[in-house]
C-alpha cells in the first residue's frame, strides 16, 4: 500500500513540475523574437522596423534601403532576386551576389530554397520591383527546426535548425524602363547588368573595353588576318567563360593539343558571343564582357555552373573561319 501511495505521489510531483515548466517555456515565435532583439542589439542595427503588414503576426524585422519604382508585385509575377544571407550564429554566410541569383514566379520561389519569410516580405513589404531591403527572418519563417544545407553539423554549408536569418534582398526591376544612357525603353535587367559590368571593370582595373549599342563590351587582345567573320560564319575557337567573381565555368573549350571547337554563329543562342566574334578575324584573341540577356538569361547553364541572369567574361581565341 505504501509503495502504491509513493508511486502516486511521485507521478503527481512530476506532473506538477511539468506543468510549471510548460508555463515557463517560450513558444517558437517568442524564442525567435528574443533572438532577433538580441541580434539587433549586439550588432548595433538601427532603423529596423517590425513587420505589421499582416497584423503583427510574422515576427520579421526589416529596413527599406530603396523603394521600388517598378510595377507592383503579385504572386503570379516573375521576380529576379539578388541576395546575401547569413545565419544569426555566423556559421552560414552566403554573401556572393554573383552566385545568389534567383528568377521565378513569386509564388514559386520557395522551390528555389527561398524561405517563406522572404516571399512574404517581397509581397507585403517591398511591394514593387526595383526595391532593396534588409530583412531579419525568424526561424519559423526560415528553415524551421530542420535547417538547410548539407552535412549534419554547423558550418558554412549548413544552416542549423531554429536559426533566424539576416538577408539583404534586391528585387531587380525587370519592367521596361528608360535607359539613362540612350533614352530608349529597355528591360530593367539590362540596366542592372550594365552597371554590374561597369562595377566589374572598375573593381578589376580593366581598360580598353569598348561598349556596343547592345550592351556588349569587348577588347581586341590580338588582331587577326583574313576574311571578315559574319553572323553566318562557322568558326573554330578556343574559349573560357568566367563569372564576375572569378570562378571559371564549365562553358569552355581549351584542348591541350591546341585544337578548337566549331561554332555555327547562325545557330548559337549566346548573342553576345556571336556579336563579339564578328569583331574579329581568324587568328584574333578577344575578351568579352557579356550582359546576362546576351548570354543565358533567366536560364542556368546545364550543370548549374552559371546561375540565372549571370553576366559573363569570355576569353576567346579565334582559330579559323569559313
Q: Is 37 left (phi over 0), alpha (psi -120 to 50) or beta?
A: alpha
For domain 207-321, say whether CATH 3.10.50.40 is its number: yes
Q: Residues 138, 154: contact at Cβ < 8 Å?
A: no
Q: What is the dihedral of CA 232, 235, 240, 244, to 10 degrees?
A: -20
Average pLDDT, the chain: 90
Q: Residues 104, 250: contact at Cβ < 8 Å?
A: no
Provide the CA 202 distance to its chain's centre, in angstroms.
Answer: 21
The dihedrals phi and psi of 24, each to the nearest 5 degrees, come to -90, -15
The predicted pLDDT at position 155 comes to 53
Distances (CA, A) of 46 to 36, 50, 116, 247: 13, 12, 24, 35
- Condensed to tens digits (0 to 9), the pLDDT of residues 243-264 reads 999 999 999 999 888 889 999 9
| Residue 8 confidence (pLDDT) above 80 | no
The predicted pLDDT at position 196 comes to 97
User: Do the strands 132-137 and 78-87 form a parallel or antiparallel pair, or are they unpaired?
Assistant: unpaired
Rounded to two decimals, the pTM is: 0.85
The predicted pLDDT at position 16 comes to 38
Band (316; pLDDT cuts 50, 70, 90): very high
pLDDT (mean) for 19-46: 84
**Percent of the chain surpassing pLDDT 90:** 80
How far apart are alpha carbons 290 and 310 in whole angstroms? Answer: 9
How far apart are alpha carbons 48 and 63 in whole angstroms? Answer: 5
- Least confident stretch, 19-23, 144-148, 226-230, 308-312: 19-23
Q: Residues 213, 294: contact at Cβ < 8 Å?
A: no
Q: Say which residues have a Cβ less than 8 Å from residue 195's Cβ, sequence separation at least 6.
A: none
Q: Enumerate the domain spans of the chain.
A: 27-174, 207-321
How far apart are alpha carbons 274 and 294 in whole angstroms? Answer: 9
| Residue 154 confidence (pLDDT) above 70 | no
Band (186; pLDDT cuts 50, 70, 90): confident
The predicted pLDDT at position 179 comes to 77
| Residue 47 confidence (pLDDT) above 90 | yes
- Least confident stretch, 13-17, 106-110, 126-130, 162-166: 13-17
pLDDT (mean) for 81-105: 96
Which of the pair, 7 or 212, is modelled with greater confidence? 212
Q: Residues 291, 272: contact at Cβ < 8 Å?
A: yes
Provide the CA 293 distance to its chain's centre, in angstroms.
Answer: 16
- Condensed to tens digits (0 to 9), the pLDDT of residues 267-284 reads 999 999 999 999 999 999
Which range has highest mean pLDDT (18-22, 54-58, 181-185, 200-204)?
Answer: 200-204
Q: Where do we find the cell 563590351?
A: 217
The predicted pLDDT at position 13 comes to 36
The predicted pLDDT at position 147 comes to 93
User: Do the strands 61-66 and 132-137 form a parallel or antiparallel pair, or are they unpaired?
Assistant: antiparallel
The predicted pLDDT at position 7 comes to 33
Q: Residues 178, 185: contact at Cβ < 8 Å?
A: yes
Cell of 234: 562557322
The dihedrals phi and psi of 266, each to the nearest 5 degrees, come to -75, -10
Would you say the CATH fold of 207-321 matches that of 27-174? Answer: yes
Overall CATH class of domain 27-174 = alpha beta
pLDDT (mean) for 287-313: 93
The predicted pLDDT at position 151 comes to 64
Amino acid at each position: 500500500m505504501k509503495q502504491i501511495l509513493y508511486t502516486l505521489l511521485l507521478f503527481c510531483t512530476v506532473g506538477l513540475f511539468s506543468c510549471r515548466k510548460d508555463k515557463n517555456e517560450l513558444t517558437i515565435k517568442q524564442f525567435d523574437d528574443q533572438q532577433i532583439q538580441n541580434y539587433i542589439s549586439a550588432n548595433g542595427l538601427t532603423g529596423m522596423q517590425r513587420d505589421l503588414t499582416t497584423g503583427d503576426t510574422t515576427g520579421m524585422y526589416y529596413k527599406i534601403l530603396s523603394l521600388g519604382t517598378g510595377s507592383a508585385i503579385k504572386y503570379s509575377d516573375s521576380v529576379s532576386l539578388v541576395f546575401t544571407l547569413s545565419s544569426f550564429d555566423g556559421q552560414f554566410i552566403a554573401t556572393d551576389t554573383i552566385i545568389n541569383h534567383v528568377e521565378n514566379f513569386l509564388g514559386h520561389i520557395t522551390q528555389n530554397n527561398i524561405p517563406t519569410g522572404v516571399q512574404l516580405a517581397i509581397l507585403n513589404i517591398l511591394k514593387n520591383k526595383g526595391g532593396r531591403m534588409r530583412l531579419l527572418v525568424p526561424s519559423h519563417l526560415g528553415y524551421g527546426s530542420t535547417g538547410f544545407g548539407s552535412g549534419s553539423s554547423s558550418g558554412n554549408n549548413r544552416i542549423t535548425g531554429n536559426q533566424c536569418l539576416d538577408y539583404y534582398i534586391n528585387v531587380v526591376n525587370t519592367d521596361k524602363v528608360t535607359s539613362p544612357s540612350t533614352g530608349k525603353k529597355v528591360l530593367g535587367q539590362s540596366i542592372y547588368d550594365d552597371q554590374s559590368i561597369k562595377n566589374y571593370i572598375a573593381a578589376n582595373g580593366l581598360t580598353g573595353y569598348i561598349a556596343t549599342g547592345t550592351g556588349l563590351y569587348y577588347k581586341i587582345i590580338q588582331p587577326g588576318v583574313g576574311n571578315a567573320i559574319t553572323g553566318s560564319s562557322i568558326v573554330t575557337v578556343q574559349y573560357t567563360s568566367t563569372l564576375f567573381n572569378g570562378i571559371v565555368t564549365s562553358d569552355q573549350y581549351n584542348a591541350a593539343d591546341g585544337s578548337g571547337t566549331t561554332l555555327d554563329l547562325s545557330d548559337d543562342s549566346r548573342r553576345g558571343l556571336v556579336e563579339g566574334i564578328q569583331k574579329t578575324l581568324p587568328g584574333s584573341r578577344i575578351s568579352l564582357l557579356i550582359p546576362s540577356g546576351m548570354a543565358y538569361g533567366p536560364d542556368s547553364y546545364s550543370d548549374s555552373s552559371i546561375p540565372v541572369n549571370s553576366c559573363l567574361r569570355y576569353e576567346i581565341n579565334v582559330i579559323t573561319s569559313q
